[in-house]
Amino acid sequence: MPMQRRDFLTRMMTGVSVLGATQLNAQWITAPPYIERAGAPHVGKVLAAIQPHADDIALLCAGTVAKLLNEGYTGYMIRATNDDMGDEVGDPGTPGENVYRNEREVDEQTRVLGLKKHFSLQYPNHRMSDVSRNELICRLIFLFRFLKVDTVFCYDPWGHDEENPDHYVLGHCVEAASWMAGRIHDYPEQIAAGFEAQTVKDKYYYARRPEITRVVDISSTVEKKIDANLANMAKGPGGHHGSRLRAQLAKEGKKLPLLGDDDVTADRNYIREFVLEPSRVLGQKYGLQYAEAFHYLGPMANAIETPTRMDEYIRKNAVPLR
Ligand SMILES: [Zn+2]
């Protein structure tokens, strides 16, 4: 059913304002974070871009995922839900249609970001509160061992102001699986089947607040982030909103120079101006063109398993037996 113009523009503006509320607000960062710039060598490492829904990676960390792939990582997409509640603003569709559209669109995001494969775990959308967390943890452990994952992206398990249970349930299960995958007594049948224990060492939790410890410069991969949001049509605030707005304004005899003279330019520039505004505002705070923010946990987060201090203590204090 065609929408009335006022309805269309109101919905679009609502989409943008909701986006502003759910993405990081740069004002929440108080302590100076570490600034991760382009250029670190990561050849041979593996990342998993893990999201509950079709739009989370594209909106919150696609620039950083693309940056690490440019620096030598191999990557995989893992999506936890089937996105059956994930409809399009102005074109709701049925839950069944949503499943199909989002599946295809995450396949396309996987392709444009340069990730190798999309693993979809197919839990019901918005219903992850009562899934078996041990089953989900076991599935993630299997994937981390099978794919030899060094680095994960997911929602911060400890983020505040979170409305969506899929976000925090998945975040907690990723945190648990990252640790347990490295322990041979957890799911030993996987070890017996030939998989090696695999601790996930770097965790980029796409944070909202309160704890932002790392800001990543994504200026070199901002076009990839636009590609991912362009593919995210059913759920995202990007997709074809720009060309629709251009067509709507043309019916009224108006145009926005921002939207150019063709649909591709309209879609990309709309995403650049409105969807990427939080990345631009965050970047400006740190002298960068575009940036993304994380609660980052690196190898030292598991300090109890890192014996450097004990080695140093033994070196300084050990004496001969007699
Ligand atoms: Zn989500």
pLDDT for the residue numbered 92:
75
Strands 34-36 and 291-297: unpaired
Contact present, 54 and 118 (Cβ < 8 Å): no
H or E stretch covering 205: strand 202-206
Say how many Å lie between the CA of residue 173 and the centre of ligand 1. 15
- Above 50 in pLDDT, residue 180? yes
Say how many Å lie between the CA of residue 194 and the centre of ligand 1. 34
Q: Is residue 322 part of a domain?
A: no
Confidence of residue 88 (pLDDT cuts 50, 70, 90): low
Confidence of residue 2 (pLDDT cuts 50, 70, 90): very low
Contact present, 280 and 19 (Cβ < 8 Å): no
Q: Which domain holds residue 211?
A: 5-317
CATH number at residue 92: 3.40.50.10320
Say how many Å lie between the CA of residue 159 and the centre of ligand 1. 13
pLDDT for the residue numbered 28:
57
Residue range 185-229, pLDDT digits in tens: 999 999 999 999 999 999 999 977 678 899 999 999 999 999 999
Q: Is residue 120 part of a domain?
A: yes
Residue percentage of the chain with pLDDT more than 90: 72
- Our count of domains for the chain comes to 1
Say how many Å lie between the CA of residue 64 and the centre of ligand 1. 18
Say how many Å lie between the CA of residue 287 and the centre of ligand 1. 29
pLDDT for the residue numbered 16:
40
Q: Is residue 241 part of a domain?
A: yes
For residue 13, count other CB atoms closer than 10 A to its CB. Answer: 11
Average pLDDT over residues 37-63: 94
Radius of gyration of the chain (CA): 21
Is it true that the peptide bond before 32 is cis, omega within 30 degrees of 0? no
Rounded to whole angstroms, the Cα distance separating 235 from 143 reads 26
Q: 22 is written with which tokens?
A: 């759910």
Residue range 230-264, pLDDT digits in tens: 998 887 788 889 999 999 999 999 999 999 999 99
Q: Is residue 38 part of a domain?
A: yes
Q: Is residue 73 part of a domain?
A: yes
Rounded to whole angstroms, the Cα distance separating 138 from 116 reads 22
- Above 80 in pLDDT, residue 304? no
pLDDT for the residue numbered 301:
58
Say how many Å lie between the CA of residue 267 and the centre of ligand 1. 22
Say how many Å lie between the CA of residue 107 and the centre of ligand 1. 17
pLDDT for the residue numbered 162:
85
Least trusted range by pLDDT, from 66-80, 110-124, 184-198, 199-213: 199-213
Confidence of residue 13 (pLDDT cuts 50, 70, 90): very low
Residue 217, beta-bridge partner list: 291
Say how many Å lie between the CA of residue 56 and the centre of ligand 1. 5
pLDDT for the residue numbered 307:
61
Query: What would the DSSP string read from start to end of 150-184?
Result: -EEEEE-TT-SS---HHHHHHHHHHHHHHHHTT-T
Rounded to whole angstroms, the Cα distance separating 83 from 72 reads 30
